C-alpha cells in the first residue's frame, strides 16, 4: 500500500538512531578507563591548536613537524615540571609525616603553646564555655594532620604499583594530543556536521565550549600556579616548615572562589602571632592580602574576560561537584558543564523569545471626543 512506505521509512530511521545511540554508549563505556587522559589531551589540543596552526603556516604547511614541536613544548614546559613537583611534594609530605610520627614535630604541643599564648581572659572564656576539653581537640587536630600527610605520602606507593597504568594513560594523552594538534580543525568540522542542531545554535555552542575550556584553564590554572608559587616562596622566606607542601595546597584551594588561599596562610599567620613571631606574622598577613590575594583580582579578569564570567557560587558548587565525581579532572569538567548549562538555557530563552508570537492584541487607540 502507498501509505506503508513512509511509515516503514520512519521506523527504519528510528531504528538506526537507536543503533547509533547504543553504539555510542558502548564506545563511551569502552573508553571510560581513559577518560582523564582523553580529557587532558582534548584540553591541551584546544589550548595549543592555534599555536600549532601558526607554526605550521611558518613552516610551509608541515603539520606533522609543527604538531611534534608543540607536543615537545608541552612535555618540556608543563608535563615534566608537574611530575617533578609531584615527586617533591610526596617526598616532603613523607618527611613531615615521619617527623610528626617520631615526635620531632609536636603538633599537640604547638596547639598548647597557642592556647597559653592567648590572653588570660580568652583562656578563662575557653574554660567557662567547657572548651577546656582542648586535649581531645588538639589530639584530633594532630591526628588529622598526620593522617592527611600519610595519605599524600602513601600516593608514592600507589603510583609505584600503578606505574604501568599511569604510563599507558600518559601515552594515550600524548598520542591523542598529537593528532588533535595536527588534524583538530578537520575533526572539529566533522563533529559540527554530525550534530543534529541548527547551524547557528551548533556553532555558538561549540564556540562557547572552546572559549570556556580556554578561559577555565587560563583563569584557573595560571592563577593557581602563580598564587601557589608566591605562597610557597613567602613561606620559605619566613622559614615556615614544609613551604612546598603549603604552597601546593594554596594553589589547590585557590581553585575554590569562596575558600581561596586564605584557608592556608591565615591559620599560619595566627600561629606566628600567637607564638610571639610578630614580625613574621605581620609580614605574612600583609603578603597574604596584598600579594597573594590580589593575584586573583588582577590576573583572572585579564585571562578570563567577561564572556565566561559566572557567579562565584556557581563556580564553587560546580568545582566541588566536579572534584567529587571526576577527581582531579573535575576542576575543568565541573565549570565547563556549568558554563554550558548556562549557555544552553540562555540560547533556549533567546530562541523562545525570538519565535514566540505576540499573544496580546495590539492596544486599541481610544479617541476621546470633546
Query: How confident is the model at residue 136, as a pLDDT?
Result: 52
Q: Given pLDDT bands bounded at 50, 70 and 90, which one contains residue 31?
A: very high
Tell me the pLDDT of the chain averaged across its residues.
Answer: 78
Domain residue ranges of the chain, discontinuous segments joined by +: 196-350
CB 243 within 8 A of CB 93: no
What are the φ/ψ torsions at residue 2 (nearest 5 degrees)? Answer: -65, -35
**DSSP string over 196-213:** -S-HHHHHHHHHHHHHHH
Task: Spell out the alpha helix ranges (H) of the chain.
Answer: 4-31, 35-58, 63-74, 80-101, 107-117, 120-128, 134-161, 163-194, 199-216, 223-237, 243-253, 262-274, 278-287, 293-304, 312-326, 330-355
**Local confidence band at 130 (pLDDT 50, 70, 90 cut-offs):** low
Mean pLDDT computed over 255-271? 83
What does the pLDDT look like over 291-324, one tens digit per residue?
888 887 787 777 765 555 677 788 778 888 888 8
pLDDT at 286 over 60: yes
* Crossing angle (nearest 10°) for helices 163-194 and 63-74: 130
**For residue 305, is it left (φ>0), alpha (ψ between -120 and 50) or beta?**
left
> Which pLDDT belongs to residue 132?
47
**For residues 22 and 161, which has the higher predicted lDDT (pLDDT)?**
22
Q: Over 70: is that where the pLDDT of 60 sits? A: yes
Task: Tell me how far apart the alpha carbons of residues 212 and 209 are, in angstroms, rounded to a whole number.
Answer: 5
Read off the pLDDT band of 365 (50, 70, 90).
very low
Average pLDDT of the segment spanning 241-250: 85
Assign residue 103 a region (left: φ > 0; alpha: ψ between -120 and 50; beta: otherwise). left
> What is the DSSP annotation of 245-308?
HHHHHHHHHTTSTTT-THHHHHHHHHHHHHTT-HHHHHHHHHHIIIIIHHHHHHHHHHHH-STT
pLDDT of residue 123: 63
- Under the banding of pLDDT at 50, 70 and 90, the label for residue 139 is low
Among 42-51, 123-132, 179-188, 286-295, the least confident range: 123-132
Mean pLDDT of 135-143: 50
Residue 44: pLDDT above 50?
Answer: yes
Evaluate if residue 91 carries a pLDDT over 70: yes
Residues 369 and 258: beta-carbon distance below 8 Å:
no
Average pLDDT over residues 353-368: 49
**178 pLDDT tier (thresholds 50, 70, 90):** very high
The average pLDDT across 194-222 equals: 82
Amino acid at each position: 500500500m502507498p501509505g506503508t512506505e513512509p511509515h516503514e521509512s520512519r521506523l527504519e530511521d528510528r531504528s538506526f538512531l537507536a543503533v547509533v545511540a547504543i553504539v555510542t554508549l558502548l564506545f563511551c563505556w569502552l573508553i571510560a578507563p581513559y577518560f582523564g587522559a582523553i580529557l587532558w589531551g582534548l584540553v591541551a589540543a584546544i589550548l595549543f591548536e592555534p599555536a600549532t596552526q601558526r607554526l605550521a603556516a611558518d613552516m610551509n604547511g608541515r603539520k606533522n613537524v609543527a604538531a611534534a614541536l608543540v607536543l615537545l613544548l608541552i612535555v618540556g614546559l608543563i608535563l615534566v615540571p608537574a611530575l617533578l613537583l609531584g615527586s617533591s611534594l610526596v617526598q616532603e609530605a613523607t618527611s613531615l609525616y615521619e617527623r610528626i610520627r617520631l615526635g620531632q614535630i609536636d603538633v599537640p604541643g604547638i596547639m598548647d603553646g597557642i592556647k597559653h599564648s592567648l590572653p588570660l581572659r580568652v583562656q578563662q572564656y575557653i574554660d567557662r564555655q567547657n572548651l577546656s576539653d582542648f586535649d581531645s581537640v588538639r589530639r584530633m587536630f594532630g591526628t588529622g594532620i598526620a593522617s592527611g600527610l600519610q595519605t599524600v605520602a602513601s600516593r608514592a606507593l600507589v603510583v609505584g604499583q600503578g606505574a604501568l597504568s599511569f604510563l599507558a594513560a600518559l601515552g594515550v594523552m600524548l598520542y591523542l594530543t598529537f593528532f588533535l594538534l595536527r588534524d583538530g580543525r578537520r575533526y572539529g568540522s566533522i563533529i559540527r556536521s554530525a550534530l543534529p542542531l541548527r547551524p547557528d545554535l551548533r556553532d555558538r555552542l561549540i564556540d562557547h565550549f572552546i572559549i570556556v575550556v580556554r578561559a577555565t584553564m587560563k583563569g584557573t590554572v595560571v592563577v593557581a600556579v602563580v598564587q601557589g608559587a608566591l605562597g610557597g616562596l613567602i613561606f620559605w622566606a619566613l622559614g615556615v616548615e614544609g613551604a612546598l607542601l603549603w604552597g601546593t595546597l594554596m594553589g589547590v584551594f585557590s581553585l575554590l572562589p569562596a575558600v581561596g588561599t586564605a584557608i592556608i596562610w591565615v591559620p599560619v599567620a595566627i600561629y606566628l602571632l600567637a607564638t610571639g613571631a610578630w614580625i613574621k606574622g605581620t609580614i605574612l598577613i600583609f603578603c597574604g592580602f596584598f600579594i597573594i590575594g590580589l593575584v586573583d583580582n588582577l590576573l583572572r579578569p585579564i585571562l578570563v574576560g567577561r564572556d565566561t564570567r559566572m557567579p562565584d557560587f556557581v563556580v564553587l558548587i560546580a568545582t566541588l561537584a566536579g572534584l567529587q565525581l571526576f577527581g582531579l579532572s573535575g576542576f575543568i569538567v565541573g565549570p565547563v558543564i556549568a558554563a554550558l548549562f548556562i549557555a544552553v538555557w540562555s540560547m533556549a530563552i533567546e530562541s523562545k523569545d525570538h519565535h514566540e508570537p505576540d499573544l496580546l492584541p495590539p492596544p486599541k487607540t481610544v479617541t476621546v471626543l470633546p
